[in-house]
Structure 1
Amino acid sequence: MHPAAHCLYPELDATALTAFATALETGEGAGLPPARAAEVQAVRAAAVFSRGKVAGADGDLLDAALWRHTGSAPRPAVVMPAPWTDLGWPAYAVQASRLALRGYDVLAYSPRGFAASEGHADLAGPFDVTDGRHALDHLLERAAGPVTRIGFLGVSYGAGIAQLVAAHDARVDAVAALSGWCDLGAVLRENRTRRTAAVHALLTASPRARLNRPAQDALEAVLAGRDTPQSVAWEEQRSPFTQVKELGRRQVAVFLAHAWHETLFPAGQVLRMFQELRGPRRIDLSIGDHGGPEMAGLPGLPNRIWTDAHRWFDHHLLGEDNGVDEEGEVLSEVMWSRTLEPAPTWPVPTRRVRRLHLTGTGELADAPDPGWAAGVVCGVETPVTVAEAVARSGADELAGLPRRYPDAAATDGAATAVWTAPATTATTRLRGTPRLRVTYRAANSGSTFVAYLLDLAPDGSARLITHAPFSDLDSPPDSLISADLDLHPTAYDLPPGHRPLLALAAHDPFYADANLPRATLSFTSPEPVPSYLDLPLA
């Protein structure tokens, strides 16, 4: 689960992007595919490309590239902080070039501590925000003419930095954040459950990265279970969600793009920020995992996410009347039909919420059934898990091959408690955030479980629709604990003949759990507070 080195972007073609960046500098595109070679020549004819250094916070030099037009006409500008990768700014070589061809001056840079940039990574803290502002200064000082409006665009780590710079620098008019985070606290701990697989991925994904001591300590504290008020303050300082009022006050135009089954930065915390934004806003939600939906666009392949990001900037920075304001604020790619559904806002309009009660017979039923008990053993590996590894499920899901779970293994009574609803007679359209209320008894003072909502097919196989973890760290031993939790939001079509399946397990390798090994969690449904699952139906 936690290899020595982990790639957050398994589909990233670093070789092709490095070759493109080199060709931009030399003008020699002989080794590139014909389309990319022609693109290099078009970019060099339209703008001056140069590599250089940006003086960041404390004098640390950041590796950067600049696409600068020579004419004195007014034009907008875009700054692009790179993702969490040893590749650095060349990850944006093609997309920055395409922005330059659309008329923007562009500066892309490697954040501190990554690739050829100096300093130590601050994990989107004050040093990184200052670096972003200095990068903008660098671009403005070298623009040949007046700069009209300014955007920040980033993928993953760069998306977090882009949002924070936009909130702290009044010069920024628009931001595009692809596969980023909005609430770092919810990324590291979800429902008080430590997201240890995500932290391991961050620590191992860029082997040559240099984290500063506070960032290293904060991530290691999550792994060790050392939660302090200082760590909460550290996380809040790095969370765009804490700056949402400032973004709204200045009417910064915010474009977000995210994957439904995001394993690094869960989709729920991004959608919570989206709901709070008060300026121009849009979110694209796609099938896949971290970085997957936009990854094919980095080397230049046709890509919906990058097209929408460009159109967002064209409208809010170039002033084009391209219909962006008329398309609704939400565009969802539905699993697994691949249908694109626009919606005026989030939550999407729902026809009704279907409440299914957990029963002693293992059914999800319309009426409560109090008094039963269903136990699961703690510390036991279960076949139902979030994914095989952080960010690795994206390619298969994008190819229409989501992970399948065998029904017989999923219903292992020792490790997993399972409830199923009757088969659907027509397509059931789940749109929104499923919610679970369940009561359980824990023999010990700390407890954790993970809830999974699956699609059970007539052949007995199952696919994961959504999930969420839950931990209680305060109740005394042998307490009855009432858990109320939102599962991750979803847009899922349950075909006719399929059944919703709810599974509860006490262990998942994606999360640290507070259970004692071989202890038992006993789920139940008291008469005054019945246990149920709410499904939002479109």
Structure 2
Amino acid sequence: MASRGQEQAQGRQPIGLYPELDEAALLRFVSSLESGDTAGLSATRAEEAGEARALLQMGRVRVPGSGGIELAGYLWKHQDARPRPAIVMPSPWTDLGWLAYAVQGTLFALSGYHVLAYTARGFGQSGGEVEVAGEADVNDGRAAIDFLQEAASTSDIGFLGDSYGSGISQLVGAHDERVKAVAALSTWGDLGEAFYENETRHVGSVTALLNAAANARLSATTQQVFDDVLAGQNIEGTLQWAEGRSPYTHRELLNDRQVPVFFAQAWHETLFPNNQTLRMFNALTGPKRLDFSIGDHSSPEMSGILGLPNRIWQDAHRWLNHHLKGDANGIDKEGELVTQIMWGSALEAAADWEEYIGAPQRLYLASTGADTGDGALTDKPENGWTRTIATDHDTLATVAEFIIKSGYAEMAGNPKVYATRDISRSDAGVWVGAPLTRTARLRGTPVLRLTCASDSATSSFVAHLFDVGPDDNAHIITHAPATRTGEEGSVQIELQATGYDVPAGHRLMLVIDSQDPFYADANAKGASLTVSSPDAHPSYLDIPLA
């Protein structure tokens, strides 16, 4: 039987992970590459198509994959015989397959690369079944290198992928010594944590992946894993399945060869939470860079897939140009971390994550605020209180309205507004800080410790951290779910990493409720959750202030 969270997630998710992709426009562009007819193209795309036809040999190909299957692909190669750097691009999680890279593949080719884009097994016109970055997918990537090297004279080879293709790119980079650099956009480090975070199932992301793969051919194992996550069964088996598909498991292979890896991630990523990608990033010892942006999964780089100016794709080009072509473009001197701060366009750079993050400031959860009926966030402990939350109903405090789509609204300057006065206090615990006297620069990973008890054998909660304006309307800063076993005890969790400026005059608000459409909850019907702060285990929130 589906859980309440699962049912809500299924009712709220868009079917596609790439709502802004215009398949017809991409097909027109490919047609112009093949025919020379640029009718219906913008002047820029028409110019690129004409230049490509003059310089390159291009066309659709069938790439021999692992196990005797064939992969649909597109090859751009230069007409001269001299060795050139090459880029292989495994497709995102979409039936469009290699077509998603039609424009960027052409741009890479025009800048001097041989390029091969291919559709991952089980999608579109490729053979085989979807194995979710399993061994067969890694072998497909290696076979794609073989195919490209037979078709063109190559020098150094890079892998670049968005979303699904980004995980495959990291894994092929780890296992094939021919890969000299990787660009991984909207990626994952630990697939297990992407499905199962703080003992809580990510039913929203799994449902979205299933919806987006409605026309794909999932292997029996893949289908069973997804079904198990939604049903809340065989979690240990799912985590074992995910381990080999997690780049973090293979990080030492990348470190041994010092493979340069570029990551791009959105602050409000809902498919692959930031902290597991950050753990992968921080574990790498070779050249690395991470670009953080406003938005959700794949939305920050989407305009670049369509061929529009885009800093993520510009940095991906610069990264590969530096490490595959030796371009002295300065990207290696800009620091490992470049972030766009919510909700502005300004960028910040840091030498590494440790330099970027702020010092933790502890805010204790207190019983009652001075000027509100809610609890308070204070700099001194106030223990001995309890607050009881009913667990049968969700509140207006949610992670986002939709996977992916909400990210586009954020990028357009229209983040979801939460009317905090309408959050049910019987179904949520609310703690509010005093108005800030100056801007609070949150940089890093907030940590929450709660002492809680439940009259259910298992219980779940979702912690939401909000920025609340003087009008009591709020924007979400970050969040995390948690599920626990037992009647009473303390739990400590990391909220997702953030880069956020809370303006002077605003307040921080912590909302604890029991449900969210993105997660399964483990609360028994009619149960309640009681939060407390005993002297031995006070409840607090550590926020990283720069």
TM-score under structure 1 length normalisation: 0.97
Equivalent residue number for residue 3 of structure 2: none
Check if 1:182 corresponds to 2:189.
Answer: yes
CA deviations on 1:339-387 (whole Å, 9 max, x unpaired) are 1000110134445321100011111011111111111111202101001
Check conservation: 1:151, 1:175, Cα contact below 8 A: yes
1:318 CA displacement: 0.5
Equivalent residue number for residue 517 of structure 1: 525
Deviates more, 1:200-209 or 1:283-292: 200-209
Kindly report which structure 2 residues correspond to 1:268-279, keeping only aligned pairs within 5 A, or say none. 268-279=275-286
Equivalent residue number for residue 97 of structure 1: 106
CA deviations on 1:370-429 (whole Å, 9 max, x unpaired) are 11111111120210100112112111000111101002113x211110001111111110
Give the alignment partner of residue 367 of structure 1, picking from 377, 380, 384: 380
| CA RMSD after TM alignment | 1.1
Equivalent residue number for residue 5 of structure 2: none
Distance 1:489 1:348 in 2: 14
TM-score under structure 2 length normalisation: 0.96
Equivalent residue number for residue 88 of structure 2: 79
Kindly report which structure 2 residues correspond to 1:465-480, keeping only aligned pairs within 5 A, or say none. 465-473=477-485, 475=486, 479-480=487-488
Check conservation: 1:380, 1:518, Cα contact below 8 A: no
Distance 1:257 1:228 in 2: 29
1:179 CA displacement: 0.5
- What amino acid does structure 1 have at the position aligned with 2:87? V
User: Helix, strand or coil for the counterpart of 2:405?
Assistant: coil
- What amino acid does structure 1 have at the position aligned with 2:114? D
Check conservation: 2:358, 2:444, Cα contact below 8 A: no
Check if 1:308 corresponds to 2:320.
Answer: no
User: Helix, strand or coil for the counterpart of 1:10?
Assistant: coil
CA deviations on 1:167-201 (whole Å, 9 max, x unpaired) are 11111010000001111100100001000000000
1:10 CA displacement: 1.5
Check if 1:49 corresponds to 2:58.
Answer: yes
Gaps of 5+ in 2: 1-8, 369-374
Give the alignment partner of residue 196 of structure 1, picking from 197, 203, 207: 203
1:337 CA displacement: 2.1
Runs of 4+ residues deviating >3 angstroms: 347-351
Equivalent residue number for residue 6 of structure 2: none
Say how many residue pairs are matched. Answer: 531
Equivalent residue number for residue 254 of structure 1: 261
- What amino acid does structure 2 have at the position aligned with 1:400? G
Equivalent residue number for residue 427 of structure 1: 439
Give the alignment partner of residue 113 of structure 1, picking from 113, 122, 133: 122
Check conservation: 1:149, 1:172, Cα contact below 8 A: yes
Equivalent residue number for residue 127 of structure 1: 136
Check conservation: 2:251, 2:283, Cα contact below 8 A: yes
1:28 CA displacement: 1.5
Q: Given the superposition, is the C-alpha separation of residues 219 and 351 from structure 1 closer, same or farther in structure 2, using an over 3 Å criterion?
A: closer
User: Helix, strand or coil for the counterpart of 2:167?
Assistant: helix
Check if 1:401 corresponds to 2:410.
Answer: no
Check conservation: 1:113, 1:119, Cα contact below 8 A: yes
Check if 1:326 corresponds to 2:333.
Answer: yes
Equivalent residue number for residue 213 of structure 1: 220
Check conservation: 2:229, 2:235, Cα contact below 8 A: no
The sequence identity of aligned pairs, in percent, is 50
Check if 1:284 corresponds to 2:277.
Answer: no
1:160 CA displacement: 0.8
Distance 2:257 2:439 in 1: 43
Give the alignment partner of residue 498 of structure 1, picking from 501, 506, 524: 506
User: Helix, strand or coil for the counterpart of 1:154?
Assistant: strand
- What amino acid does structure 1 have at the position aligned with 2:395? T
Check conservation: 1:86, 1:207, Cα contact below 8 A: no
User: Helix, strand or coil for the counterpart of 1:137?
Assistant: helix
Kindly report which structure 2 residues correspond to 1:520-531, keeping only aligned pairs within 5 A, or say none. 520-531=528-539
Kindly report which structure 2 residues correspond to 1:333-352, keeping only aligned pairs within 5 A, or say none. 333-350=340-357, 352=359
User: Helix, strand or coil for the counterpart of 1:393?
Assistant: helix
Check conservation: 2:229, 2:238, Cα contact below 8 A: no
User: Helix, strand or coil for the counterpart of 2:305?
Assistant: coil
Check if 1:164 corresponds to 2:143.
Answer: no
1:317 CA displacement: 0.2
- What amino acid does structure 2 have at the position aligned with 1:413? R
Distance 2:206 2:489 in 1: 28
1:518 CA displacement: 2.1
Equivalent residue number for residue 233 of structure 1: 240
- What amino acid does structure 2 have at the position aligned with 1:389? F
